[in-house]
Structure 1
Amino acid sequence: MGRNRRLKARLWRWRSNPLRRHDDLVEAWIVLVMWAVIVVGGALAGLVTYDAAATMFAAQRSERHSVQAVLLTDTPPATSTSGGVRDLIRAKVRWTTADGTSRTGSTLVDMGRKAGSKVVVWLDSADNFTSEPASSAEATLESTVLGLAATLAVAGMAFGTGAVARYRLDRRRIDSWGTEWQLVGPSWDRKTS
């Protein structure tokens, strides 16, 4: 019985009630629309963003390829231990394309390498240097994080918009009460004898 009473208390704005104002019904609709946008819009934004990111990462994996290259210059030794982060420096390398042409270029390689050592470089479909594409697990993780961020962004905007609309309704109600009190208040000042 207590649960039914609480439900009735929450839904009072929707029932016909002589104490219900027009603003109460407007507020009920604002809250309903806000939660619908949060749930449906947030889910849709998250799924669309996840799918777009996953498609982009898959396209990167399909168009990028690695090749063995030879380092043409020595690179300086690593200066400090950076806690698992690779120290990279730009250096000249030479590699052979799929059609047998030898090419040279400058790309990022690990520090502390000697000239003549083999390095792996990543090229795009136009044989320009590019970064290594995300692995399938990394792509899934990044796509998921981006999808969650989009969901939270839509939910936050909907919640903020709903909060601003409810605040304006509250201000309007308070102003209305002030106006009504100016009409009624003076009659309460009379003394009863």
Structure 2
Amino acid sequence: MAAFRGPRVWLWRWRRNPLRRRSDELESWLVLAAWTLALIAGLLAGLVSARSVEHSLARQRAEWHPVPALLSEKAPGSRAASAASTERVWAEVHWTAADGSPHSGQARVEPGSRPGTPVKVWTDREGRLVTKPAGESQAGLRAGLAGALVGASAAVVPLGGGRLLRRRLDQRRMEQWDADWARVGPQWGWKTG
């Protein structure tokens, strides 16, 4: 049989109650402030970080470009194994940058490729090797995930601070209870007529 709880009362923490202590009122405002700050901090931090990641990935798409390169050495592995799988291996490649300067570095190529095999690599403005930039949909997903993670992390700070303050309020209430009990408790042992 379920206990009768009565009608649900909105904002019950702020209603008049003769048993409400000052610390109860303080705790109610603390909970409200912690949740409000968590919501605001989480949203702002999430939106700012998502926008920053999206802007950074858009800049990469604009600045990074594909460059034809040639394999400098025979790639490890065999062509027979590469036909059955999509595995790629690291090998030395060389290319000429837009300013005409020669560059070399490691790139992923098909196993067993011969020297001189053309390979497409991605470079930045300075001609350094970079990974292929994220497409628009992939960039949107990365920005959304980064924003959600940063937003959740930022929201934890005010919630954690509020929890620590509530723990301190509980500790103070228990100390107050102990002091009151030490004062009143011995009176209960008296015999009454």
The normalised TM-score by structure 2 is 0.86
1:12 shift after superposition? 3.2
Gaps of 5+ in 1: none
In structure 2, the residue matched to 1:13 is 13
Q: Is residue 76–residue 91 contact of structure 2 (8 Å, CA) maintained in 1?
A: no
Counterparts of 2:108 and 2:46, CA distance in 1: 36
- AA of the residue aligned to 2:115: A
In structure 1, the residue matched to 2:109 is 110
Counterparts of 1:178 and 1:18, CA distance in 2: 21
- AA of the residue aligned to 1:64: W
Note if 1:124 corresponds to 2:124.
Answer: yes
In structure 1, the residue matched to 2:181 is 181
Counterparts of 2:138 and 2:86, CA distance in 1: 17
The normalised TM-score by structure 1 is 0.86
Q: In the TM superposition, what whole-angstrom CA distance separates every residue of 1:50-92 from its partner, at most 9, and x where no partner exists? A: 00100110111111111111112111017x89xx885331413
SS at match of 2:14: coil
1:97 shift after superposition? 3.3
SS at match of 1:91: strand
SS at match of 2:13: coil
CA RMSD of aligned residues (A): 2.4
- AA of the residue aligned to 1:38: A
In structure 1, the residue matched to 2:89 is 88
SS at match of 2:12: coil
Q: Which runs of 4+ in 1 moved over 6 A?
A: none
Gaps of 5+ in 2: none
SS at match of 2:107: strand
SS at match of 1:31: helix
Note if 1:162 corresponds to 2:162.
Answer: yes
In structure 1, the residue matched to 2:74 is 74
Counterparts of 2:69 and 2:191, CA distance in 1: 100
How many pairs does the alignment contain? 185
Change (3 A) 1:53 1:85: farther
Q: Percent identity?
A: 35
Counterparts of 1:152 and 1:51, CA distance in 2: 16
Counterparts of 2:9 and 2:42, CA distance in 1: 26
